[in-house]
Amino acid sequence: MNNHKRISALIFLSVAIIFGCKDNDKGTPKDEECGYTITITEAGNAFASYTNNCTNAIIGQSNNELSMVLNSPDTKYSLTINIKGAIQGDYVVKNEPPYGSGTATLFLTSDQSKIPGALSFFQGKFIITKFKDQTADGTMNATVTSTVNKKTYTLTGEFKNMPVKKILM
Protein backbone atom coordinates (compact mmCIF):
# COMPACT_ATOMS: atom_id res chain seq x y z
CA MET A 1 0.00 0.00 0.00
CA ASN A 2 2.90 2.35 0.69
CA ASN A 3 4.11 2.06 -2.94
CA HIS A 4 0.58 2.78 -4.15
CA LYS A 5 0.56 5.98 -2.09
CA ARG A 6 3.92 7.07 -3.51
CA ILE A 7 2.84 6.34 -7.08
CA SER A 8 -0.39 8.26 -6.53
CA ALA A 9 1.53 11.20 -5.09
CA LEU A 10 3.95 11.22 -8.04
CA ILE A 11 1.09 11.09 -10.55
CA PHE A 12 -0.68 13.94 -8.77
CA LEU A 13 2.52 15.99 -8.65
CA SER A 14 3.17 15.37 -12.36
CA VAL A 15 -0.35 16.46 -13.31
CA ALA A 16 -0.06 19.53 -11.11
CA ILE A 17 3.25 20.47 -12.73
CA ILE A 18 1.74 20.17 -16.20
CA PHE A 19 -1.11 22.52 -15.34
CA GLY A 20 1.09 24.96 -13.37
CA CYS A 21 -0.21 28.21 -11.90
CA LYS A 22 -3.76 29.46 -12.02
CA ASP A 23 -5.05 32.88 -13.06
CA ASN A 24 -5.14 35.70 -10.54
CA ASP A 25 -8.94 35.80 -10.57
CA LYS A 26 -8.86 32.57 -8.56
CA GLY A 27 -6.46 34.00 -6.00
CA THR A 28 -3.27 32.25 -7.08
CA PRO A 29 -0.27 33.70 -8.91
CA LYS A 30 0.17 34.02 -12.66
CA ASP A 31 3.27 32.54 -14.29
CA GLU A 32 4.93 35.97 -14.53
CA GLU A 33 4.62 36.43 -10.77
CA CYS A 34 5.90 33.08 -9.62
CA GLY A 35 8.96 31.08 -10.39
CA TYR A 36 12.43 30.08 -9.35
CA THR A 37 16.12 30.63 -10.07
CA ILE A 38 18.80 27.98 -9.53
CA THR A 39 22.59 28.39 -9.91
CA ILE A 40 25.17 25.61 -9.65
CA THR A 41 28.87 26.43 -9.27
CA GLU A 42 32.11 24.49 -9.03
CA ALA A 43 35.25 26.25 -7.72
CA GLY A 44 33.35 29.54 -7.78
CA ASN A 45 32.44 29.30 -11.47
CA ALA A 46 28.77 29.05 -12.42
CA PHE A 47 28.29 26.35 -15.04
CA ALA A 48 24.52 26.06 -14.78
CA SER A 49 22.00 28.75 -14.04
CA TYR A 50 18.34 28.67 -14.89
CA THR A 51 15.19 30.63 -14.24
CA ASN A 52 11.75 29.22 -14.78
CA ASN A 53 8.17 30.19 -14.12
CA CYS A 54 5.62 28.10 -12.27
CA THR A 55 4.50 26.27 -15.39
CA ASN A 56 7.17 23.65 -14.75
CA ALA A 57 7.11 23.38 -10.96
CA ILE A 58 4.86 22.81 -8.00
CA ILE A 59 5.14 22.15 -4.30
CA GLY A 60 3.24 19.11 -3.07
CA GLN A 61 2.18 18.95 0.57
CA SER A 62 1.44 15.66 2.31
CA ASN A 63 0.92 15.70 6.05
CA ASN A 64 3.85 17.68 7.47
CA GLU A 65 6.15 17.31 4.45
CA LEU A 66 6.72 19.32 1.29
CA SER A 67 8.11 18.03 -2.01
CA MET A 68 9.37 20.19 -4.85
CA VAL A 69 10.65 19.43 -8.34
CA LEU A 70 12.43 22.35 -10.03
CA ASN A 71 13.48 21.55 -13.60
CA SER A 72 15.51 23.68 -15.98
CA PRO A 73 13.50 24.84 -19.02
CA ASP A 74 15.56 22.54 -21.28
CA THR A 75 15.14 19.67 -18.74
CA LYS A 76 18.92 19.14 -18.57
CA TYR A 77 18.82 19.64 -14.79
CA SER A 78 16.24 18.44 -12.30
CA LEU A 79 16.32 19.43 -8.62
CA THR A 80 14.17 17.39 -6.23
CA ILE A 81 13.67 18.75 -2.72
CA ASN A 82 11.97 17.10 0.26
CA ILE A 83 11.32 19.15 3.38
CA LYS A 84 10.40 17.63 6.74
CA GLY A 85 8.07 20.38 7.81
CA ALA A 86 5.39 22.53 6.25
CA ILE A 87 5.84 25.84 7.98
CA GLN A 88 7.82 29.02 7.52
CA GLY A 89 11.35 28.66 8.89
CA ASP A 90 14.90 27.38 8.46
CA TYR A 91 15.70 23.78 7.52
CA VAL A 92 19.08 22.01 7.70
CA VAL A 93 20.19 20.31 4.48
CA LYS A 94 21.08 16.62 5.04
CA ASN A 95 21.76 13.65 2.80
CA GLU A 96 21.91 10.88 5.41
CA PRO A 97 19.34 9.56 7.90
CA PRO A 98 17.82 10.30 10.26
CA TYR A 99 15.69 12.84 8.39
CA GLY A 100 13.86 14.40 11.30
CA SER A 101 11.70 17.45 11.54
CA GLY A 102 13.49 20.58 10.38
CA THR A 103 15.56 18.88 7.65
CA ALA A 104 15.63 19.17 3.87
CA THR A 105 17.14 16.90 1.22
CA LEU A 106 18.27 18.32 -2.14
CA PHE A 107 19.00 15.92 -4.99
CA LEU A 108 20.19 17.19 -8.39
CA THR A 109 20.25 15.03 -11.51
CA SER A 110 21.64 16.01 -14.89
CA ASP A 111 22.34 14.63 -18.32
CA GLN A 112 25.34 16.96 -18.58
CA SER A 113 28.95 15.84 -18.23
CA LYS A 114 29.71 18.86 -16.00
CA ILE A 115 28.53 16.95 -12.94
CA PRO A 116 28.62 13.24 -12.17
CA GLY A 117 25.04 12.08 -12.96
CA ALA A 118 23.52 12.98 -9.60
CA LEU A 119 24.43 15.00 -6.53
CA SER A 120 22.89 14.70 -3.07
CA PHE A 121 23.72 17.90 -1.17
CA PHE A 122 24.86 17.30 2.41
CA GLN A 123 25.39 20.71 3.97
CA GLY A 124 23.52 23.98 3.83
CA LYS A 125 20.29 25.74 4.60
CA PHE A 126 16.83 25.74 3.04
CA ILE A 127 14.62 28.61 4.21
CA ILE A 128 10.89 29.01 3.71
CA THR A 129 10.44 32.77 4.06
CA LYS A 130 6.69 32.73 3.40
CA PHE A 131 4.15 29.93 3.63
CA LYS A 132 0.56 31.12 3.37
CA ASP A 133 -2.38 31.52 1.04
CA GLN A 134 -1.46 28.29 -0.79
CA THR A 135 1.91 29.71 -1.91
CA ALA A 136 5.49 29.62 -0.63
CA ASP A 137 8.64 31.72 -1.02
CA GLY A 138 12.12 30.74 -0.01
CA THR A 139 15.84 30.42 -0.59
CA MET A 140 18.41 27.63 -0.55
CA ASN A 141 22.17 27.30 -0.33
CA ALA A 142 23.86 23.90 -0.19
CA THR A 143 27.18 22.19 -0.97
CA VAL A 144 28.39 18.71 -1.79
CA THR A 145 31.73 17.11 -2.61
CA SER A 146 31.34 14.45 -5.27
CA THR A 147 32.63 11.01 -4.38
CA VAL A 148 33.19 10.41 -8.11
CA ASN A 149 35.39 13.36 -9.12
CA LYS A 150 36.17 14.89 -5.67
CA LYS A 151 34.94 18.34 -6.83
CA THR A 152 32.86 20.55 -4.54
CA TYR A 153 29.62 21.94 -5.94
CA THR A 154 27.46 24.73 -4.55
CA LEU A 155 23.79 25.20 -5.31
CA THR A 156 21.98 28.46 -4.61
CA GLY A 157 18.44 29.34 -5.44
CA GLU A 158 15.24 31.10 -4.63
CA PHE A 159 11.56 30.59 -5.34
CA LYS A 160 8.65 33.00 -5.19
CA ASN A 161 4.88 32.53 -5.03
CA MET A 162 5.16 28.82 -5.76
CA PRO A 163 1.74 27.16 -5.57
CA VAL A 164 1.34 24.56 -2.82
CA LYS A 165 -1.02 21.67 -3.63
CA LYS A 166 -2.19 19.28 -0.93
CA ILE A 167 -1.64 15.61 -1.75
CA LEU A 168 -3.93 13.22 0.10
CA MET A 169 -2.25 10.07 1.38
Following DSSP, what letter does each residue of the chain receive, concatenated? -HHHHHHHHHHHHHHHHHH-PPPGGGTS--GGG-EEEEEEEETTEEEEEEEEEGGGEEEEEETTEEEEEEE-TTSSEEEEEEEE--SSEEEEE-SSS---TTEEEEEEEESSTTS-SEEEE-EEEEEEEEEETTEEEEEEEEEEE-TTT--EEEEEEEEEEEEEEE---
Let me know: does 57 contact 34? Beta carbons within 8 Å: no
Whole-number pLDDT of residue 120: 93
Q: What is the pLDDT of residues 46-92, one digit of tens each?
A: 988 999 887 666 688 888 899 999 989 888 899 999 999 888 999 99
pTM of the model: 0.78
pLDDT at 6 over 70: no
130-159 pLDDT, tens digit per residue, is 988 788 999 999 999 998 889 999 999 999
Is 60 exceeded by the pLDDT of residue 11? no
Check residues 50 and 113 and name the one with the higher pLDDT: 50
User: Distance between CA atoms of 144 and 122, rounded to whole angstroms?
Assistant: 6
For the chain, the average pLDDT equals: 80
- The pLDDT, as a whole number, for residue 63 is 80
pLDDT exceeds cutoff 70 at 28:
no
Residue 133 pLDDT: 74
